[in-house]
Structure 1
């Protein structure tokens, strides 16, 4: 007698779905508050507080290199939390990841500086960045998987884009806080104690996210996988009910490593330009062009406000025209904007600087961020979606640290913007090439055990 697999969607009320959406948004917002706070601090103050005595350009590179270390450990966190999420469920993992991230960020706010404890200060900073990165390795992918597995297939791009709004919210909050501090505090106060405020304040977002997640139900897709016996702890692995799932009769994914490579390039292309724009160009404005420190933070804040409209619109568009065409269109838009943006920034005319920053930020990385959650969730099969999505996403996320570090190094070496423009072009071509090569995945059955790309 065969066993029937059901998702029992009746147990999920609209309140449950909203809670899942808010949970994903809040966790992602905290992740990007954490990393954007540090990114702006690295560009504006950490070079003085933790790496004094070095030449200005070298100190900026050192501070941003510490920023990059957080990304180097994220794949380990992705592998660890991804395997836990695929074996035991999404919701419990998301509680642990957010505690790790939020705690590490708060502790940065109480760190002594180099002047107070010497070389131990940057060492402790690196340790907290590693802890922060380890937790973040599972957070965004877990939130994306959970939200997409709750979502109706024809609205998955829109619902998944709420994760993108989380990244945008984090960038907006971090940029807004830094802009406010720079505006109201004298430079001496900012350098002595003001820089600690945003890091300590991140604990408020942590408390809110934990409050939302305390009653979160497991995703209906994972519940169905448990009923089918294809996840650990659900009884006989590959049980009889598994035959009710699409692709259960195939031992291997029909696309093999193809899905991994495509997902990596999609992520790598977006993340590299995100790191360049939000970290290196901010530092370039203040250090190389002599523009006031508040300009870069304010430009990012305005871009974040604009993205609140752009991100859900792009997510909705991807539900209509597909993920593949969305990646192709917006990667080309990024390529077209690179040189005009750099020319506007180098004009050092503040209105033109704002136009350049806002245009490249909202129509470049933010559009791809909107499409990414649903795309990566649909690219991978149900059996190990969390693990493969998290690991691929975090290896692709090396682009953020690599992009910002390489761009800052190129600027310090050459003193010109053209090398950074070429670097941005390379990252954009990675996303464009992957978009052209991928199969359309929009609307796939997320209980399908096979890869989609």
Structure 2
């Protein structure tokens, strides 16, 4: 069937039906929310209970570091997920990858919910816990690229950043849902009951959410850009090889852009603030339910500013939106711990909310920015691998680094300077890129897309 006869397809690489676009947006939001709910649920539980339940023999201090290290462990396997998903996505389509990653993530999360603790099965408990976290990492590494390309490649040219923000909303929504469920269980089963069984309920809920996400994603059509590539038989045989042969520097710079956002975001999504603020032996010792409530509220503000960041990205360009975001994020970084250290739940909430302004502006336009950086034939590999490497350089061990810095220096100011440094690194990487807002995404413009967006280079 020719492209002109394909229902809803236009040669520009978008689908014409408004209803189809809305379905794509809805499916990407639902799917990524479920994925990140699972991913962040682990990180929050690592800050609250996993140290005691799975790593206790290591001693109170080191057990918590091991729990945070298990959070970071998954990031080391994100590139594997990105490599596998990039190859499959560029060869067989975006949609099939989204279905596989959703099932993989949900199965791992549900199994964590029934996993015996160290007290029951000994060293096998932390080993199995980390293996399931590895599975989560592989799934997360493959999920993001497919979701953002489905959104951006279906979008009208003038609204790519806004459409691309839809899967980005899944991150704060996932955090909101994970923190909200844990907060609810902390109220229903406080104290020892939460430690005994309360934390498991949100993990078991994942099974139901996966069924919902699978049903919604199954209804979505394949990306029109991929369909055009498939009809022309122009799919790249070894997309990852082509990516690193021609665009290795671009992958690194794009990864650093995300690293600047991710390191700061993982103060909450990685469970560090939750642990720091609720630790009964620490300087604050706030109630678990109160802190989880504050994190849940900050997830709402993060969602709002991510959407605004996507909208602004279409108005003033991706690069300019990022620059504003980095400035706001730097302000949030320097305010965060002074507000948290007051011991006031209200000021802690304020610090988290202020931080989400910059996080939203440096996350909302990311999908459009990434999609416009890479040629159509290797785009899935490019965005997935850049994202996965950025996650390792940024959030993978941010909670562990923060914990180690506080223990070695005795002050949270060391963490502030670490986060500020990552923010500046993200700004520098952004300034190294040309703004390619509105770049045609279809295979007709592969030569134009292959021109390097890195300043000072004509081609990658």
* TM-score, structure 1 normalization: 0.91
In the other structure, the counterpart of 1:346 is 341
> 1:46 matched to which residue of 2?
50
- Pairing 1:319–2:314 present: yes
Structure 1 residue 31: deviation in Å?
Answer: 1.9
- Cα displacement (A) at 1:77: 0.8
CA RMSD, Structure 1 to Structure 2 (Å):
2.3
Aligned 8 A contact 1:25 1:166 in 2: yes
Q: Residue 290 of structure 1: which of 285, 293, 307 is its match?
A: 285
- Tell me if 1:417 matches 2:415: no
Q: How far is the alpha carbon of 1:203 from its aligned partner?
A: 1.5
1:159 to 155, 160, 163: 163
Q: In the aligned structure 1, how far is the partner of 2:243 from the partner of 2:170?
A: 34
Counterpart of 2:36?
32
User: Who is 1:306 aligned against?
Assistant: 301
Q: Distance in 2 between the 1:408 and 1:254 partners?
A: 38
Instruction: Write the distance in 2 (CA, Å) between the matches of 1:274 and 1:9.
Output: 41
> TM-score, normalization: structure 2?
0.90
Q: Which moved more, 1:391-400 or 1:110-119?
A: 391-400
2:273 paired residue number: 281
**Residue 190 of structure 1: aligned partner:** 194
Mapped to 2, the partners of 1:118 and 1:158 lie a distance apart of 49
**1:97–1:138 CA contact under 8 A, matched in 2:** yes
**1:207 — aligned with what?**
211
CA positional deviation for 1:9: 6.0
Tell me, yes or no, if structure 1 residue 441 matches structure 2 residue 436: yes
Q: 1:18 Cα shift?
A: 2.2
Q: Alpha-carbon deviation of 1:69?
A: 0.9
Q: Give 3-state SS (helix, strand or coil) of 2:395's partner.
A: helix
> Which position in structure 2 is the counterpart of 1:266?
257
Counterparts in 2 of 1:116-195, with a 5 A limit?
Answer: 116-195=120-199
Alignment match of 2:352 (pick from 353, 357, 369): 357
Instruction: Give, in angstroms, the shift of residue 121 of structure 1.
Output: 0.2
Report the CA distance shift for 1:33/1:4 in structure 2 as closer, same or farther (over 3 A). Answer: closer
Deviation, 1:151, is 0.4
Structure 2 gap ranges (5+):
10-14, 454-460
User: How far off its partner does 1:367 sit?
Assistant: 2.4
Distance 1:252 1:353 in 2: 43
Q: How many residues align?
A: 435
Is 1:223–2:227 an aligned residue pair?
yes
5+ residue gaps, structure 1, are 238-250
Secondary structure at 2:406 match in 1: helix
Partner Cα distance (2:7, 2:158) in 1: 17
> Alignment partner of 1:364: what SS?
helix
Q: Which moves more between the two structures, 325-334 or 114-123?
A: 325-334
